[in-house]
Structure 1
Amino acid sequence: MDDTRFKRFFASLLTILGIVVVLFACIAFMSDGPVLGMTVSKWESIVPFLVGTVFLLSGVNLINRS
């Protein structure tokens, strides 16, 4: 793979991963019971939301620059 194709592939992977993690955080925040076998409190759901936001924004930024 040349450099541009690799950057776009990596950027799309980061974007998709960010979307999935942000959706998991939103579902964990809204639910009362365990989510995907994990018990996540309302305050603990902030961490995956922030990580997913970083992945999403960096993926979108990398797509725009390549």
Structure 2
Amino acid sequence: MHQKDFTLAEVYGAYEAFVTGTLGGITPVTRIDGRVIGSGKPGPVTERIASLYAAYLQG
């Protein structure tokens, strides 16, 4: 994985997406502008990161 700037066209073609935040933790993104991202369900990377984050919070 890596971090970079990206275009909206790249977002529309993503296999999966998620956002992070203080209140939302790891939140899967399945649609942007009404367009389905990937399969329209949280992807394996998103699920893994969310699982690791949840385990971290539980200590």
Classify the TM-score, shorter chain.
0.3 to 0.5
Q: Which has the higher contact order (CA 8 A, sep 6+)?
A: 1
Q: TM-score, normalised by structure 1?
A: 0.36
Q: Which has more strand, going by share of residues?
A: 2
Q: Which has more helix, going by share of residues?
A: 1
